[in-house]
């Protein structure tokens, strides 16, 4: 009863009291919204400062150029290994297309390199009828070789002879190459492999060394040679090894 007695009896007083409390609640809500907006603004400013600090730390303590160069070198080594692995695979038959693929033009070997000429002579008489042979021309093919300390080109000359009686053409067979239609000889291939796997000299650096000697060899070409040589050496790697004799 005491609480009911404390309430004003006039309706206007009750309305005024409700309006005052409603205004107080609205002011309180407005203050809360303002505080919330200020908190969001401060949070955004804090995140911005953290981001700027992280950028400055990355600029100051980030990876150095030496680390980036090391990663780039590792990526180039991985690329060379992939190209060499692809060269080991047998050639797959390609589907005929409308336009034949354009084959890259083979650059001639430098003229300043010393050349050693090997002439492959044939028999003096025609193998068919025994008649005398007369010169008809010759075929010349070149192969790049490596002599310790220098490079040289081996010229394989195969004279063509024709029989004066039966007109048969006689010529010595072409010497075999480690890689079919490849310009690299056995010693040069061994030099590339030893430089890559024993001296840890990547192919792109070998290209720079060869360029100083006037040899314009692409890294992809060396990778093909490495793959072809690896395919040639594969039987030696897979051959069964003899058991060691244990002496008691």
129-166 pLDDT tens trace: 888 888 888 899 898 888 877 888 999 999 999 988 88
* C-alpha span between 115 and 216 (Å, rounded): 17
Within a domain: residue 190?
Answer: yes
Q: Output DSSP code: residue 239.
A: S
Q: Which two tokens stand for residue 88?
A: 């080991």
* pLDDT tens column, 18-76: 888 888 888 888 888 888 888 887 778 777 777 877 777 777 666 556 666 676 677 66
Count of CB atoms within 10 A of residue 180's CB?
7
DSSP string, 181-214: T-SB-HHHHHHHHIIIIIS---HHHHHHHHHHTT
* C-alpha span between 218 and 238 (Å, rounded): 30
- 159 SS3 class: strand
Within a domain: residue 144?
Answer: yes
Count of CB atoms within 10 A of residue 44's CB?
10
Specify the pLDDT at position 245. Answer: 52
pTM for this structure?
0.49
Residues facing 123 on adjacent strands = none
Within a domain: residue 120?
Answer: yes
Specify the pLDDT at position 1. Answer: 46
Q: Output DSSP code: residue 110.
A: P
Specify the pLDDT at position 13. Answer: 79
Within a domain: residue 153?
Answer: yes
* C-alpha span between 104 and 218 (Å, rounded): 12
How many domains does one find in the chain?
Answer: 1
Domain that holds residue 198: 115-237
Specify the pLDDT at position 248. Answer: 44
């Amino acid at each position: 009863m005491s609480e009911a007695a404390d309430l004003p009896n006039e309706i206007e007083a009750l309305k005024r009291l409700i309006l005052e409390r409603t205004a107080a609640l609205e002011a309180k809500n407005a203050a809360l919204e303002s505080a919330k907006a200020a908190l969001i603004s401060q949070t955004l400013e804090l995140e911005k400062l953290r981001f700027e600090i992280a950028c400055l730390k990355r600029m100051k303590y980030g990876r150095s150029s030496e680390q980036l160069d090391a990663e780039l070198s590792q990526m180039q080594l991985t690329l060379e290994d992939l190209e060499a692995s692809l060269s080991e695979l047998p050639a797959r038959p390609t589907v005929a297309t409308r336009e034949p693929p354009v084959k890259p033009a083979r650059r001639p070997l430098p003229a300043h390199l010393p050349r050693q000429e090997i002439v492959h002579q044939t028999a003096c008489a025609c193998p068919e009828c025994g008649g005398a042979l007369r010169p008809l021309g010759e075929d010349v093919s070149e192969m790049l070789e490596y002599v310790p300390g220098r490079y040289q080109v081996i010229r394989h000359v195969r004279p063509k002879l024709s029989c004066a009686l039966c007109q048969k053409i006689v010529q010595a067979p072409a010497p075999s190459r480690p890689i079919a239609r490849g310009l690299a000889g056995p010693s040069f291939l061994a030099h590339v492999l030893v430089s890559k796997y024993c001296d840890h000299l990547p192919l792109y650096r070998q290209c720079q060394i060869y360029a100083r000697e006037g040899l314009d060899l692409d890294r992809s070409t060396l990778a093909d040679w490495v793959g072809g040589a690896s395919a040639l050496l594969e039987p030696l790697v897979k051959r069964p090894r003899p058991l060691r004799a244990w002496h008691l």
